Amino acid sequence: MSSKENNAENIQTHVHVRDVQWTASPQYPEKLRRVYRYKPLIGGHWQGVIPQQDILMGVLELAPGAIYAAHAHPAPELYYVMSGTARWTVDDETFDAEPGTAIYHAPNALHRMINTGDETLRVCWMWWAPNGNRKVLNIGSKLLEPVPEQPESARFATNDDA
């Protein structure tokens, strides 16, 4: 067996969402970190994720009624709505997103989400390195507006939900 084949055998090939801890972007204010969270699954520096240098992928949740303020980042991004509903803004377009909706954010596009339902909004997200430019994956999101006060009802039942 070649060393290349041996190295391929040692690479983590799968992860289950229940085995990864919730996190939130540390640069965000506490009132946003209380109502949104994500579990990275592929790429980045987090422990237990599938190692990958060209993409970041995971699951994100937004509490019922919560507002994820307008933000942007240099990495292009895809979202896929798995459950819940949201009023979604991408640059000048605002639309309703529901399960089955796929959303594309171009690099540095303004985007905002408002959970319009009574259940947690759960989405799959992915950033990638366009044309191999991995630098964009190391630059976090920047808020483009003040984070509004969140509704009292905008809370997660527990921090341990998978």
What's the confidence (pLDDT) of residue 45? 85
What's the confidence (pLDDT) of residue 134? 94
Sign of the alpha-carbon dihedral angle for 11, 16, 21, 27: positive
Domain that holds residue 98: 3-143
Please report whether residue 156 resides in a domain.
no
Please report whether residue 91 resides in a domain.
yes
Give the contacts of 22 (CB within 8 A, at least 6 positions apart). Answer: 37, 38, 39, 159
Please report whether residue 60 resides in a domain.
yes
Q: DSSP assignment, residue 134? A: G
Indicate the pTM of the whole model: 0.88
From residue 85, alpha-carbon distances to 6, 23, 80, 94, 140 in Å are 45, 22, 11, 13, 25
Q: What is the pLDDT along the chain (162 residues), one digit of tens a residue?
A: 444 444 555 678 899 999 999 999 888 999 999 999 999 999 988 888 999 999 999 999 999 999 999 999 999 999 999 999 999 999 999 999 999 999 999 999 999 999 999 999 999 999 999 999 999 999 989 999 999 999 988 988 765 555
Give the residue from 121, 119, 117, 120 showing the smallest Cα distance to 103.
121
Please report whether residue 153 resides in a domain.
no
What's the confidence (pLDDT) of residue 12? 84
What's the confidence (pLDDT) of residue 11? 79
Please report whether residue 161 resides in a domain.
no
- Read off the CATH number of the domain in which 40 is found: 2.60.120.10
Sign of the alpha-carbon dihedral angle for 140, 106, 70, 124: negative
Please report whether residue 149 resides in a domain.
no
Please report whether residue 108 resides in a domain.
yes
Please report whether residue 155 resides in a domain.
no
How many structural domains does the chain have?
A: 1
| Alpha carbons 39 and 61: distance in angstroms, whole number | 9
